[in-house]
Amino acid sequence: MNHLKDKIEEYRKTFDEDAARVKDEKSLQEVRNLYLSRKRGYLTLLFEKLKTLKPEERPEVGKSLNGLKNYIQGRLQNLREEMAGPEETLKKVDLTLPGRKRYWGSPHPIHLFQQEIENIFLGMGFSIEEGPEIETDYYNFEALNFPPHHPARDDWDTLYISDDLLLRTHTSPVQIRVMEKRKPPIRIINPGKVFRKESPDPTHLPMFYQVEGLVVDHGISFAHLKGTLEYFLKTLFSEKIKIRFRPSFFPFTEPSAEVDIECTVCTGKSKECRVCGGGGWVEILGAGMVDPQVFKNVNIDPEKYSGYAFGLGVDRTAMFAYQIPDMRYFYENDLRFIRQFALK
């Protein structure tokens, strides 16, 4: 038995030496025959000698003999592949298999929808103005006619950074910044992110997008405001959409209005509609004529000039336009949702 075990070890060493000398198909075949030939191969002879051992000795020796056989076969196979070169390797690749698909990135649905809104206003001669997302109390509130301790400040839960710095709760501060720098005529929209201390739910988010607009010139009236917003909403939704203006209050406009459109999900026909609560209307815009006090704060003479302002939530409006029941879907990064809006 020990004699056989020694032989197995010996052949493992001599095979390694023989394999190292293989340089072509012919020498490969010679080494193969030397060890594995069915008639006189070294291993074939060792397998025959296995039969002469006592039955209880056979399993152990047989195991190491099989191990050596597998080792030699594997090594010869590797040598063959190494010699084959790239052409042979290519034959093994199935060129008829479909390729792996790569997904292209695309703009976020909210970004696309904001562009749609911007394009409508650009077409009406508005220009786009942007401003900082961190604002001072003055620009976010005071210049917009919210004096300190004014109850209207409580309408929005503000995220403060320090006593004077805050994350803007609306994009209206941009209007103040533009009016400080520029004299009328002014015709701008201000798109951007705004922040409020809200718990996310189907219709509220702590961060969302707004587009606000401001027009200041001689003789601007509520009729201009109404005509502009009607054109905007009909272009964005449809020519047939029903629109209504309701009286409202904002510190920075007088008179003020809220603008509703008919519910795009049930068109007012369902009492159980989750989007409009069965009322048939959804609020989409806040608007009004710029308060004379706001003009005074930026040194524009309210006796000479008048103007209107309006604002809408981009995410909220997108929800109605795409008939999505929950605003949070936009920010959950579920690719099955996001990809529906990808550019084709």
Binding site for Zn ion (CB under 5 A): 263, 265-266, 273, 275-276
CB of 239 to Zn ion, least distance (A): 20
CB of 281 to Zn ion, least distance (A): 8
Residue with the two structure tokens 């103040």: 176
**Residue with Cβ nearer Zn ion (144 or 275):** 275
DSSP 276-298: TTTSSEEEEEEEEEEPHHHHHHT
**Residues β-bridged to residue 239:** none
CB of 209 to Zn ion, least distance (A): 23
CB of 172 to Zn ion, least distance (A): 29
**Residue with Cβ nearer Zn ion (139 or 320):** 320
Q: Output the furthest CA–CA distance in the chain (Å, rounded).
A: 121
**Residue with Cβ nearer Zn ion (251 or 313):** 313
Cα–Cα distance for residue pair 283/306, rounded to 1 Å = 25
**Residue with Cβ nearer Zn ion (220 or 275):** 275
Cα–Cα distance for residue pair 271/263, rounded to 1 Å = 12
**Residue with Cβ nearer Zn ion (132 or 325):** 325
CB of 265 to Zn ion, least distance (A): 5
Cβ distance 61 to 53 under 8 Å?
yes
Q: Which residues of 143-154 are buried (b: 16+ CB within 10 A; e: fewer)?
A: bbbbeeeeeebe
Alpha helices in 21-57 (DSSP H): 25-36, 42-50
**Residue with Cβ nearer Zn ion (282 or 290):** 282
Cα–Cα distance for residue pair 50/125, rounded to 1 Å = 97
CB of 280 to Zn ion, least distance (A): 6
